[in-house]
Amino acid sequence: MLGYTLKRLLTLIPTLLVASILIFLFVHLIPGDPASILLGDSATPEEIASLSAHMGLDRPLWQQYLVWFKNVLHGDFGQSIFFKTPVLEVIADGAETSICLALMTMFWIVLIGIPVGIVSASFHGSWVDQITSGGAMLLASIPTFWLGLYLILIFSVGLGWFPSSGFPSISDEGGLSNLRYLILPSLTLAAPNAALIVRLVRASMLDVSREDHVRTARAKGLHPARVSIKHVFRNALIAVAAAFGFTFAALVSEAVVTETVFSLPGIGRLVVQSILRRDYPVIQGVILLIVLLYLVINLLVDLAYARLDPRVSLQ
């Protein structure tokens, strides 16, 4: 297990290397010169040139890449052009919001998505199934930002139950009760993803329920609910876990939109704003970290997979 993990970690290196080159290239192909953006409209060409030289922007692209990558390996992602502070600090500032949002979202997804999926599959073909699985598909067809805007309209502006935007740190005044700022955002973000989980749990459970061993379980005289959970769902979980990597990628995409709708000081909004501000170092840093996170999560998924399915052995 440990050996396998180490080996998998080693195979991450080439992937990350390719990813870093792609990110660097993408970002540097973006039109617009950071030096002139930084100095504003009133700057003279000489000022721009000297700042470019200072930032190393006049060197060949591959040299810039090597310098950047070497620094990244030392944990230095460079300076944000906009904030004038280290990129890692800028990212760390957004991390709390994004992590809290992600955890709350996962909470809804697991709390709602999995039970509804089980119910839907257990009553396959009945009106319960049609409503839950059809409803899930409808939910997944709603643009995230549209849902967010109407949740704000109804629950913040209309009923005044929840704040409509922002997120003060939970270490600030208010403590954990500040999490109420994240209730609407996390529900918005959870909606399409929980819907995906409902569909996934349902489809995998239907696949499993056609397997022979489920008939054996029923022949034992077990209660149908017990057959559903202990036998069908437990096997379906293997396929659900395998798809979790994709769920994560979908979650990140939607988080970018959600954080923008609710003006949350998180990493998702940081990406969008950095792109609009042409803040190269921040874009590169954030995307590289997200890719790394994606790879690590997939590794964890594989480890979990092996735990869930005794037929899989890690080597």
Partner 1 sequence: MALLEINNLSIAVASQGQLLPVVTDCSFSVAAHETLGVVGESGCGKSLTALAIMGLLEGSQVNITSGSIVFDGRDLLQLRPAQRRAIMGNQMAMVFQEPMTSLNPVYRIGEQITEVLQQHRKITHRESRQRALELLDLVKIPHPQDRIDSYPHQLSGGQRQRVMIAIAMACEPALLIADEPTTALDVTVQKEVLDLMLDLQTRTGTSIILISHDLGVIAETCDEVAVMYRGRIIEKATTASLFANMAHPYTRGLLASIPTIDTDNDWLQAIPGRVPGIDEKVNGCPFHPRCAHTETPCTQTAPRLIDTHPHHAVRCHFAGEI
Partner 2 sequence: MTLRTTIAAVFRGRKLAALGAVWLCIITVAAIGAQFIAPFDPLEIDPIARLSEPGLPYLFGTDHFGRDTFSRAVYGARMALIIGIGSVLVALICGGLIGLLSAYFSTLGHFLMRIIDVLMAFPALLLALVLMTLLERSVINTVIVIGIVYATTTARIFFGMTLKLKNEVFIDAARCSGAGHGSILFRHILPNLWSPLLVQASFIFAFAQLQAAALDFLGLGLPPEVASWGNMLAEEKIYITRAPWLLMFPGALIILSVFSMNLVGDAMRDSIDPRFKNDIAGI
Binding site for partner 2 (CB under 8 A): 14-15, 18-19, 22, 26-27, 29-31, 134, 137-138, 140-146, 149-150, 152-153, 157, 195-196, 199, 207, 246, 249-250, 252-254, 256-257, 260, 271-272, 275-276, 283, 287, 290-291, 294-295
**238 vs 292 by CB, closer to partner 1:** 238
**2 vs 29 by CB, closer to partner 2:** 29
Return the structure tokens found at 233. Answer: 């769902």
- Per CB under 8 A, residues contacting partner 1 are 211-213, 215-223, 231, 234-235, 238, 308-311
The site partner of 277 among partner 2, partner 1, none (C-beta below 5 to 8 Å per kind) is: none
Min CB(169)–partner 2 separation in Å: 25
**44 vs 141 by CB, closer to partner 2:** 141
The site partner of 67 among partner 2, partner 1, none (C-beta below 5 to 8 Å per kind) is: none
Return the structure tokens found at 227. Answer: 């057959």
What's the CA gap between 56 and 63, in Å, rounded? 9
Positive or negative torsion for Cα 101, 104, 107, 108: negative
Which residues make beta-bridge pairs with 158?
none
CB environment 18-32: b (16+ within 10 A), e (fewer): ebbeebbeebeeeee
The site partner of 211 among partner 1, partner 2, none (C-beta below 5 to 8 Å per kind) is: partner 1
Cβ-contact 184, 155 below 8 angstroms = yes
Phi/psi at 79 (nearest 5 deg)?
Answer: -105, 140
Min CB(237)–partner 1 separation in Å: 9
What's the CA gap between 115 and 139, in Å, rounded? 16
